Structure 1
Amino acid sequence: MPFPLEILYRITLHEEGEETVLSLVGQPLAASPEETASFLSINGSLQKGFGGTFGQLVIYLRKINNI
């Protein structure tokens, strides 16, 4: 299945109480219907992968800031 050559990711940061919340949204650019379907089919894997990566970043930041 073909995959889009370009994906636009938008990262948004906002405050919730004393926490900063990061939101990441991806969208294929100039993609065929087949490429878009391919991108959407791996959504769960992308969420787990990015979630794990950002989870590790949170742990690291808390550690270096003694939180």
Structure 2
Amino acid sequence: MRCKHYHTTFEPNAPRGCKLFQFKSPLMPYILVKQSTGHDCTSFDERQTKKEDDNGKKDFNDPKYW
């Protein structure tokens, strides 16, 4: 779920998918890649997280939000 290529499909039979390799599966994509190739996924790319202020709150008076 931390990979930027992971996505949720909302299909009951295949709820998880990989945008890079364009597949859907009932398994987590990294498990399917490991089973298929025998190696960890080499295309893993950490998802960017939203940055917040030190106190965990955003200041919406800040002009960068407008």
- If the TM-score is normalised by the length of the shorter chain, which range does it land in? under 0.3
Structure showing the higher strand proportion among its residues: 1
* Structure richer in helix, relative to its length: 1
Higher relative contact order (CA 8 A, sep 6+): 1
TM-score of the pair, normalised by structure 1: 0.26
